[in-house]
Chain A
Amino acid sequence: MDIYVQLLVNSLQIGAVYVLFSLGLTLIFGVMRIVNFAHGEFFALAALLVAVAVPWLIDFGAPLPVAYGLAFLGALAGVLVLGKILYEFAFRRFQRDMIGSFVLSVGLALLLQGLYIEIFSSASRKLPTLIEGTLRILGGAITTQRLVLCVIALLVAAGMYWAIASTRLGKALRAVSEDHEAAMLQGIPYRRIALSGFLIGTLLAAVAGALLAPVVVIGPVIGSSYLIKGFIAVVIGGLGSIPGAIIGSILIAVIESVGGYYFDPSLATIAMFVMVMVVLLVRPAGIMGNG
């Protein structure tokens, strides 16, 4: 019994980050029809900025929680600036051109990764623990820090889900991703909504990266492995679908933690791929996709 609870807890903490990550991917795809290969680099930049800023702030004498808080906000701001730059100078001209924008994002991902290695050096970083202690839930163990991370990630995801379902901007985003021409005919300002959608997606990746910074070892290529998992999650769920991204992320997280426990991590990845093949065979546009 203990082991099942533990696996569930593990799935939850992996899944929480994947949900944030793939929500951003699917949102950007929905609004702009862009498969953003550079999404992992937003994530990596946030983690790297936190990893650099926290020790720096501590040197200035800031207490640990304050250092984390400031670093977190700084990282989000930094990533938003990067997102805005990429949107203005690159992606804006390639929306709705799926192949062109994908090629562009591949180039940007490679370029950014190279720049990160130059700027942040390829050394791995580990940050001091923010919240000490381990909690036991029904026989499963989780560090308090990871639990807090999960809860924040899930709250952000839930907030996002609510915002997209109910707010004015959320409705506009959904309208644009269903049919952008019909949306424009209704007077929805497509360009502004596209920018908002892109920046929200960017921000979600940044939140995921910044949240993960205290609990993992951070290197400049940290984005790649999350990118692959995130892609698999949104393909399974259906590109552009918000519930699909959540379902896909949870499935991936369960496969990763269960497969990783009983077999080994690379077999779990292979299992994910087999699942993608099966899903595509039955539903070529993903579980929740329509098209």
Chain B
Amino acid sequence: MAKLPRALLVAASLCAVIGSYFSGSDFAANLIIWVAINVLMTASFRFVLLIGELNFAMAGFVGIGAYAGGIATTMYHLPLALALLLGAAAAGLISLVVGFVTLRAKGAYFLLVSFAFTEVLRLIYSKVDVIGGNSGMIGIFPPAYLARFYPAIVVLVVLFFLFVLYRMERSDFGKILVAIRNNDDLVQTVGIDVHLTKVWCLGIASFVTGICGALLAHANNVISPGDFSFLVAVYTLAYLKVGGESHILGAVLGAIVLTLLAQYALGFGAYEHIFYGAAIVIGVLLLPDGLFGLAQRMLSGRRWPEGSGS
């Protein structure tokens, strides 16, 4: 693909950070946080798609990250950084165990099991009284002295992990992941442990997902089991399909566009279902490469001069 001017990306990132710091009103700040978190969730969902698996357990790991982060903050009064890290570590470690079992299955089987995993986790949350059962946890706030910086912190963390995921995809490890999607038997024959590689892939993605969950918990201040149904993964899938899965920027693009558009659809009840459903159907039927692929095709006519940032 045509190289995207790096300067443009850096400039956009800087604008996002600075802009989020100055976002005065509560609504604008929250919107920025939601968009940023959705972007990172979509990127982590896409990371597991590199090995060719649709990871519906992702919604469950968002929940684990959120609950672990919430517990760290409300019950043990740990610093924000530690709470985020705990959320990520909890999701990552649990995903290694779950992945070790479930990734023996692939394709339809993995997808359905990961889907069931998410739904079962939701039931478990509602049964455990320490974390509030059905009514959930309240009072998950970032420390008061950080509250003003919170949107900027979220954007920074998201950008950092986007970069990490991008570098990993470009590394040898990332190439193995894509090779597994294309032909896992062949990868096995050159002496690479396919199963363990898949488990690590899920672990890394879930670590990032856990961060998303912890960030979300501190942004919403309240979490309940209903927030982490499989619909979270379905919405993420919509972002990815509309944005385009061939490049990580497709995930970013899709999440930004749809999250902003969905603001109009929100609050109309059933329209939210129709909105996301239609987005997926249209994305799959009419935009097989997503918005990113569309943009690429439009740009390929007149090639972007390399290195110039305009």
**A62-99 contacts to B (CB < 8 Å):** 89-90, 93-94, 98-99
The smallest beta-carbon distance between B239 and chain A, in angstroms, is: 12
Tell whether A285 is near chain B: CB-to-CB under 8 Å: yes
Interface SS of chain A: helix
Find out whether the CB atom of B281 lies under 8 angstroms from the CB atom of A270: no
Give complex CA distance A280, B116 in Å. Answer: 13
- Known contacts A99-B54, A228-B119, A231-B115: does B284 contact A104 (CB below 8 Å)? yes
Tell whether A198 is near chain B: CB-to-CB under 8 Å: no
Give complex CA distance A272, B54 in Å. Answer: 21
Pick from A53-61, A111-119, A184-192, A200-208 the stretch touching chain B.
A111-119
| Across-interface contacts of B124 in A (CB, < 8 A) | 270
Tell whether B274 is near chain A: CB-to-CB under 8 Å: yes
**A178-231 contacts to B (CB < 8 Å):** 228, 231
| Across-interface contacts of B272 in A (CB, < 8 A) | 114
Find out whether the CB atom of B54 lies under 8 angstroms from the CB atom of A102: yes
Find out whether the CB atom of B277 lies under 8 angstroms from the CB atom of A280: no
Name the CB-closest residue of A to B241: A103
Tell whether A151 is near chain B: CB-to-CB under 8 Å: no
Tell whether B107 is near chain A: CB-to-CB under 8 Å: yes
Pick from B11-19, B97-105, B172-180 the stretch touching chain A.
B97-105
Find out whether the CB atom of B117 lies under 8 angstroms from the CB atom of A273: yes
Find out whether the CB atom of B277 lies under 8 angstroms from the CB atom of A270: no
| Across-interface contacts of A228 in B (CB, < 8 A) | 115-116, 119
Find out whether the CB atom of B234 lies under 8 angstroms from the CB atom of A118: no
Residue from A104, A113, A235, A276 within 8 A of B285 (CB atoms) = A104
**A92-142 contacts to B (CB < 8 Å):** 93-94, 98-100, 102-104, 106-115, 117-118, 122
Residue from A100, A269, A284 within 8 A of B105 (CB atoms) = A284
Give complex CA distance A284, B198 in Å. Answer: 15
| Across-interface contacts of A35 in B (CB, < 8 A) | 108, 111-112
Find out whether the CB atom of B109 lies under 8 angstroms from the CB atom of A280: yes
| Across-interface contacts of B52 in A (CB, < 8 A) | 99
Tell whether B276 is near chain A: CB-to-CB under 8 Å: yes
Find out whether the CB atom of B280 lies under 8 angstroms from the CB atom of A103: yes
Tell whether B258 is near chain A: CB-to-CB under 8 Å: no
Tell whether B23 is near chain A: CB-to-CB under 8 Å: no
Give complex CA distance A117, B108 in Å. Answer: 29
The smallest beta-carbon distance between B268 and chain A, in angstroms, is: 10
**A2-26 contacts to B (CB < 8 Å):** none
Find out whether the CB atom of A100 lies under 8 angstroms from the CB atom of B284: yes
Find out whether the CB atom of B116 lies under 8 angstroms from the CB atom of A273: yes
Choose among B117, B120, B279, B285 the residue with the greatest number of A CB atoms under 10 Å from its CB.
B120
B 260-301 to A, binary, CB cutoff 8 A, 1 in contact else 0:
000000000111111111111101110000000000000000
| Across-interface contacts of B219 in A (CB, < 8 A) | none
Interface residues in B, total, Cβ within 8 A: 42
The smallest beta-carbon distance between B244 and chain A, in angstroms, is: 13
Tell whether B237 is near chain A: CB-to-CB under 8 Å: yes
Give complex CA distance A269, B122 in Å. Answer: 11
Name the CB-closest residue of A to B120: A273
Residue from B108, B234, B270 within 8 A of A98 (CB atoms) = B108
Tell whether A42 is near chain B: CB-to-CB under 8 Å: no
Tell whether B167 is near chain A: CB-to-CB under 8 Å: no
- Known contacts A35-B112, A107-B280, A277-B102: does B120 contact A114 (CB below 8 Å)? no
The smallest beta-carbon distance between A210 and chain B, in angstroms, is: 23
| Across-interface contacts of A285 in B (CB, < 8 A) | 105, 109
Name the CB-closest residue of B to A115: B274
Give complex CA distance A232, B273 in Å. Answer: 24
Name the CB-closest residue of A to B274: A114
Give complex CA distance A287, B261 in Å. Answer: 45
| Across-interface contacts of A108 in B (CB, < 8 A) | 277, 281
| Across-interface contacts of A239 in B (CB, < 8 A) | 108-109
| Across-interface contacts of B278 in A (CB, < 8 A) | 107, 111
| Across-interface contacts of B275 in A (CB, < 8 A) | 114
Find out whether the CB atom of A107 lies under 8 angstroms from the CB atom of B113: no
Tell whether A286 is near chain B: CB-to-CB under 8 Å: yes
Name the CB-closest residue of A to B282: A107
Give complex CA distance A112, B273 in Å. Answer: 8
Tell whether B30 is near chain A: CB-to-CB under 8 Å: no
Find out whether the CB atom of B119 lies under 8 angstroms from the CB atom of A269: yes
Find out whether the CB atom of A107 lies under 8 angstroms from the CB atom of B127: no
Find out whether the CB atom of B113 lies under 8 angstroms from the CB atom of A277: yes
The smallest beta-carbon distance between B6 and chain A, in angstroms, is: 31
Find out whether the CB atom of A266 lies under 8 angstroms from the CB atom of B112: no
Name the CB-closest residue of A to B109: A235
B 219-255 to A, binary, CB cutoff 8 A, 1 in contact else 0:
0000000000000001001100100000000000000
| Across-interface contacts of A102 in B (CB, < 8 A) | 54, 108, 111
| Across-interface contacts of A266 in B (CB, < 8 A) | 123, 126-127
The smallest beta-carbon distance between A155 and chain B, in angstroms, is: 29
The smallest beta-carbon distance between B205 and chain A, in angstroms, is: 16
Not counting A110-B280, A114-B273, a sample of 4 additional A-B residue pairs whose C-beta atoms are within 8 angstroms of each other reads A107-B278, A110-B274, A272-B116, A280-B109
Binding site for B on A (CB under 8 A): 29, 35, 89-90, 93-94, 98-100, 102-104, 106-115, 117-118, 122, 228, 231-232, 234-235, 239, 266-267, 269-270, 272-273, 276-277, 280-281, 284-286
A-B CB proximity, top 5 nearest: A107-B280, A111-B277, A114-B273, A110-B277, A114-B274
What are 8 A-B pairs at a CB distance below 8 A? A103-B284, A109-B277, A110-B276, A117-B269, A122-B270, A228-B115, A231-B115, A269-B120
